[in-house]
Amino acid sequence: YAQAVYWYEQAAQKGNAAAQCNLGLCYERGDGVQKDLAAAFKWYLKSAENGSRSGQVNVGISYENGEGTDKNPEQAAKWYRAAAEQGYASGQYEYARCLKNGLGVKANAVEAIEWYNKSATQGNDKAMNILGDCYYKGEGVEKDILKAKEWYEKAAAKGNKYSIESLKK
């Protein structure tokens, strides 16, 4: 890990967004360096500002949880949306979650469904599971038990434990 950190740092210092994000992960986990959430956030932010979709999601997570920076739900939603707009399934899922729950943005169940759909169609099992829940409960969509079952089955096929449990009910 120490050798990986060395090379990530070399590339990160030259502005490589992927290396910046990976260096942030090393600091977050304590792989090859002493664990340092503030340093992780610093590198995630550089990565995000350089257009890295995974860096943007990691900045969002940092802001949402107050890890390495102050909690800031508005900034979390902003960075999740940046990744979502680049077509990143994880970003789409996280931004949809913000919209569904009113985290840093005004709650909007209908728009949340749109972003969950985008994420789910790329294979995100968490988005598939939530879509199942939304169709089951009629949140943001018209209640439709058959569509709920379809989404639960798709997520269960990917090993999503929540969907597997929902199908047993």
Q: Note the pLDDT tens digit of each residue in 22-43.
A: 999 999 999 999 999 999 999 9
> What pTM did the predictor assign?
0.93
pLDDT band at 169 (very low <50, low <70, confident <90, very high): confident
Phi-psi region of 147 (alpha: psi -120 to 50; beta: other; left: phi over 0): alpha
pLDDT > 90 in the chain, percent: 99
The Cα-based distances of 126 to 93, 134, 142, 163 in angstroms read 8, 12, 20, 9
Q: What residue has token string 């879509």?
A: 131
Please name the helix (run of DSSP H) or strand (run of DSSP E) that holds residue 31, with its range, or none. none
At residue 115, the pLDDT reads: 98
Distance CA 140, CA 1 (A): 45
Span 42-60, average pLDDT? 98
